[in-house]
Each structure stands twice: as structure tokens, then as C-alpha cells.
């Protein structure tokens, strides 16, 4: 493939290499823009571009299913989730970031460290005799399950082969992955939930009575409850729990006091002892 | 340079994919080290994970093995779980203290 402009002939690399240069260049550019933008929304949108270009490279490597997965899961779900949280919180970064103290040290240290690390890895890859000669599609080593591109095509394509190996060779990890997702769903719900008073029966230690809602204990409502309840019971309020216990009538069954407004409040001697 | 005609890659050596992956990983590392916004640190972690995914797929393609692609499926699963839990943690943090600046999150210091 050559391009002729007048008398000058510019040799072009093969088509696959052109696509690779486009995708990789855009991915690196988008990643660089992602980490340098001030606005988190802009960062997220640049990251979308980087992920799309990574999907292009997955297609070039014969991983069509993973390219689709990349677009659907990463750009479709994870980044939308990140954007959702960015906009939900609505907190912008400081318009004038205070470049002082530890943050300057971070910037000064992290960029050289990261670039030197990249240089090191790239140098190792260039001078490694294995990677220099191996093209994608060549077979090196001896793998147990050999899936060359021709074998994948003959077996019905990438998606089918991936599914077959996922449900046979990697069945146990697949099931564990489903458990991880389940746990993550529970964890996300528990963490992101607003703190609401749980309907847990607890004991007010100073009163020796159990209340239906946890939020009443150790709050201002506790005082109101005491004022409301104690005259009706005929007990003089004393912060010392032992005096109450002395005056409290001993009953075998828990007595429910007040059907309407103070429902769920009950007195039981066993719980009084447990409260101590 | 020998041009492989397999699987549409048409002459892209394995080393190039590995180099792109290394550069992307290091950019993600720099982002995670320099940025102060918790959400951008989070995105940098996602970028690093994608760079590793690219390495896995490239090696899998060069070794004619499906194991790399299978592993990437699991990495994506864990990344999705991590995103859900991580963003829930961010929301819980913001409830405690309305900031997403990583240097301001020092509630356990006192």
C-alpha cells in the first residue's frame, strides 16, 4: 500500500498497523487527557474515548466478545455509574487548586516515577528476544488448549469458543464470579443506604424497659418517653436503675402498656436483668 | 518484519500491544498518584485494569489460548463489583463529610 503524491511515493504500513496506530494513539491521548483534566466529568468522557479505542484493539486481537463486553460494561455501565455519582455529588474540585505542600511533592514525584516506569517496561519489551520476533497469531510455547485463529473460526467463532471454555474449563471461577457480584450488590446497598432507625428491639438501660425503635434510645425522645410513660405506670423516675427495679411489679408475662401512641413498649423483668 | 495474516491483525507484533498497555498502565498510575479527586483516582484504577486486560488478550492471542480472554471476563466482573462498592463508599464518605478531595478525607485521624 503506497500513496503517490506527484513523483513522491510514500510507503504506507499495512492496514492493520494503520488501525493499530490510530487506536493506540487515541487511547494514549485520551488517557493523558483523562488524568490532566480539572473537571471530573471531562475526565470521565475522555476515559470513554480510551475505552472505545481499547475495544478496537480487542477486535484486532480476535477477541470480539470482549470488545462488545468492553463497550457494554465499561463505557455502558461503569462509566455511566461514575458520571452519575459525579453529578449526584455535584462537588467540583477547587477552582484554584492549592498547589502547596504535599500535593506539589506528589506532582513532582509521580510524573517522573510513572514515566521512568513506562520507559523501563517499553525498553524491556523492545529488547526482549521473545516479543521482538513474535507476531500475533504465531504459536510460541506449548499450551494445553490450543486455540489458533483458524481453530476458533472452525469451531464456530470467538463467542462460541469463549462460552464453551467458560462453562467447561472455567466453570468454578464463573460461579465464584456470580457470588462476587451478589456480594457486591449487597455491599453497595448497605454502604450507600441512608442511616435509618432500624426496627430493632432494644433496651433503655436506665429505665429497664425495651423500646421498639433503636433511635429512641439515647436520644431526646428517650426523655419524652420517660415523661410520658412513667406517670402512667406509677413509677417515680429515678436515673438509678436499681430503684426502678425495686418498685417495679414482678410479672411473669411481659405487659404491653399503651395500645395507641406508645405501642411496642413493654416491660419485662427478664429484660430488666438483661439490661444490667 | 514478518507479517502475520491471522485473525485480522495483519502484521502488528505482540510487542506493540504490550508497549501500549505499559504506557496506558503508567498513565493510570500517574493519575492515581497525582489526582486528588476520589472519582478520578477511581477512573485511573479502571484505566490500569484495562491496560492489564489488553496485555492478557494480547498474550492469549499470541499463545493461541483462550485462557487470557477467560481471565479478562473475570477481571471485568470484578471491576464491575469494585465500581459498585467503591462508588457506594464514596457516597457514604460524602455523607460523613461533604468532600471528594482525597487529602481531606481524614476522619480517622483524630
pLDDT tens by residue, B13-65: 888 899 999 999 999 999 999 888 888 999 999 999 999 999 999 888 887 78
Q: What is the pLDDT of residue B5?
A: 36
Judging contacts by C-beta atoms under 8 Å, the chain B residues touching residue A82 are 39, 42-43, 83, 87
What CA–CA distance (Å, rounded) separates A112 from A96?
24
Tell me the H-state helices in A71-208: 79-89, 102-127, 129-133, 149-154, 158-168, 171-192
Smallest Cβ–Cβ distance between A131 and the set B14, B46, B47 belongs to: B14
Any A CB within 8 A of B97 CB: no
Residues 5-64 of B with CB under 8 A from A: 5-20, 22-31, 33-37, 39-40, 42-44, 46-47, 50, 53-54, 57-58, 60-64
Judging contacts by C-beta atoms under 8 Å, the chain B residues touching residue A28 are 20, 23-24, 27
Contact B10 A17 (CB under 8 A): yes
Please check the confidence at residue B90 and state whether its pLDDT lies above 60. yes
Q: What is the pLDDT of residue A172?
A: 93
Angle in degrees, CA A126, A131, A135, rounded to 5: 120
What CA–CA distance (Å, rounded) separates A139 from A126?
19
Cβ neighbour number for residue A73 with a 10 Å cutoff: 19
Contact partners, residue A166, CB within 8 Å, separation at least 6: A174, B70, B73
Interface test with A, best of B73, B78, B90, B103 (most A CBs within 10 A): B73
Contact B82 A184 (CB under 8 A): yes
Smallest Cβ–Cβ distance between B7 and the set A32, A62, A146 belongs to: A62
Judging contacts by C-beta atoms under 8 Å, the chain B residues touching residue A34 are 27, 31, 40, 43-44, 47
What CA–CA distance (Å, rounded) separates A212 from B62?
64
Smallest Cβ–Cβ distance between B3 and the set A14, A66, A73 belongs to: A14
Contact A187 B13 (CB under 8 A): no
pTM of structure = 0.72
Q: What is the pLDDT of residue B55?
A: 93
Angle in degrees, CA B94, B98, B104, rounded to 5: 95
Distances (CA, A) of A226 to A172, A231, A260: 57, 9, 16
Per-residue model confidence as pLDDT tens for chain A (276 residues): 567 777 777 777 777 788 899 999 999 999 999 999 888 899 999 999 999 999 999 998 888 999 999 999 998 889 898 888 888 887 655 544 555 566 777 788 888 999 999 999 999 888 877 655 555 555 555 555 667 777 777 778 888 888 888 898 889 999 999 999 999 999 999 988 876 655 555 555 565 555 554 444 555 555 655 555 555 555 555 555 554 455 555 555 554 444 444 444 444 444 444 444
Amino acid at each position: 500500500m503506497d500513496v503517490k503524491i506527484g513523483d513522491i511515493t510514500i510507503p504506507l504500513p499495512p492496514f492493520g498497523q494503520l488501525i493499530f496506530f490510530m487506536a493506540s494513539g487515541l487511547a494514549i491521548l485520551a488517557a493523558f487527557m483523562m488524568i490532566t483534566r480539572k473537571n471530573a466529568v471531562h475526565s470521565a468522557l475522555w476515559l470513554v474515548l480510551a475505552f472505545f479505542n481499547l475495544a478496537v484493539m480487542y477486535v484486532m486481537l480476535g477477541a470480539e466478545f470482549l470488545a462488545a463486553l468492553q463497550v457494554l460494561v465499561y463505557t455502558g455501565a461503569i462509566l455511566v455509574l461514575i458520571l452519575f455519582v459525579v453529578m449526584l455529588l455535584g462537588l467540583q474540585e477547587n477552582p484554584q487548586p492549592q498547589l502547596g505542600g504535599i500535593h506539589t511533592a506528589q506532582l513532582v514525584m509521580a510524573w517522573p516515577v510513572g514515566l521512568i516506569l513506562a520507559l523501563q517496561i517499553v525498553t524491556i519489551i523492545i529488547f526482549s528476544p521473545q516479543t521482538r520476533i513474535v507476531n500475533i497469531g504465531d504459536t510460541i510455547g506449548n499450551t494445553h488448549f490450543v486455540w489458533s485463529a483458524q481453530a476458533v473460526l472452525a469451531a464456530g467463532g470467538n463467542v462460541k469458543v469463549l462460552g464453551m471454555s467458560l462453562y467447561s474449563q472455567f466453570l468454578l471461577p464463573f460461579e465464584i464470579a456470580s457470588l462476587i457480584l451478589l456480594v457486591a450488590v449487597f455491599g453497595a446497598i448497605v454502604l450507600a443506604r441512608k442511616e435509618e432507625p432500624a426496627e430493632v428491639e432494644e433496651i433503655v438501660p436506665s429505665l429497664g424497659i425495651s423500646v421498639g425503635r433503636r433511635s429512641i434510645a439515647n436520644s431526646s425522645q428517650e426523655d419524652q418517653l420517660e415523661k410520658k410513660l412513667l406517670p402512667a405506670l406509677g413509677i417515680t423516675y429515678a436515673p438509678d436503675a436499681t430503684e426502678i427495679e425495686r418498685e417495679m411489679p414482678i410479672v411473669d408475662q411481659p405487659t404491653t402498656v399503651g395500645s395507641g401512641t406508645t405501642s411496642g413498649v413493654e416491660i419485662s423483668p427478664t429484660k430488666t436483668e438483661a439490661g444490667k | 518484519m514478518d507479517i502475520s495474516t491471522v485473525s485480522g491483525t495483519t502484521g502488528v507484533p505482540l510487542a506493540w500491544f504490550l508497549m501500549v498497555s505499559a504506557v496506558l498502565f503508567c498513565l493510570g498510575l500517574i493519575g492515581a498518584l497525582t489526582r486528588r479527586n476520589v472519582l478520578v483516582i477511581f477512573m485511573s484504577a479502571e484505566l490500569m485494569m484495562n491496560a492489564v486486560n489488553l496485555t492478557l488478550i494480547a498474550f492469549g492471542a499470541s499463545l493461541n489460548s483462550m485462557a487470557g480472554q477467560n481471565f479478562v471476563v473475570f477481571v471485568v466482573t470484578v471491576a464491575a463489583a469494585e465500581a459498585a462498592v467503591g462508588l457506594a463508599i464514596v457516597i457514604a464518605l460524602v455523607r460523613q463529610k461533604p468532600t471528594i478531595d482525597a487529602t481531606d478525607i481524614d476522619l480517622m485521624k483524630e
